[in-house]
Amino acid sequence: MPAIVLYSKPQCVQCDRTKLLFEKRGLEFTEVDITKDLDAYNYVTKTLGYKAAPVVVTENDHWYGLRPDKIGQLATK
């Protein structure tokens, strides 16, 4: 199973729903709060170019926002 990193922020409905979907699908993930980790914030905004959370990074893909379709694809691997 690929490593999954969820970059999130507090009081983010899409972040909370993404976590819930990962948990329901039995997907293991690491959560990083971009409001507390400047390196993670810079990675998400400067390297990946995203301006919104959540951002999900896997071995071969990355995206932002609530994406049940992408989570479903991870669960079938």
Each residue's pLDDT tens digit, 47-64? 999 999 999 999 989 999
Q: Which CATH number characterizes residue 17's domain?
A: 3.40.30.10
The residue segments making up the domain with residue 46 are 5-75
- Using one digit for the tens of pLDDT, what is the confidence trace for 7-17? 999 999 999 99
Q: What is the mean pLDDT of residues 60-71?
A: 94
Rounded CA-CA distance 42/28 in Å is: 24
Burial class (CB in 10 A: 0-12, 13-18, 19+), 38: exposed
Number of domain units in the chain = 1
Q: Give the pLDDT confidence score for residue 2 in this predicted structure.
A: 54
Using the predicted structure, report yes or no on whether residue 30 has a pLDDT greater than 60: yes
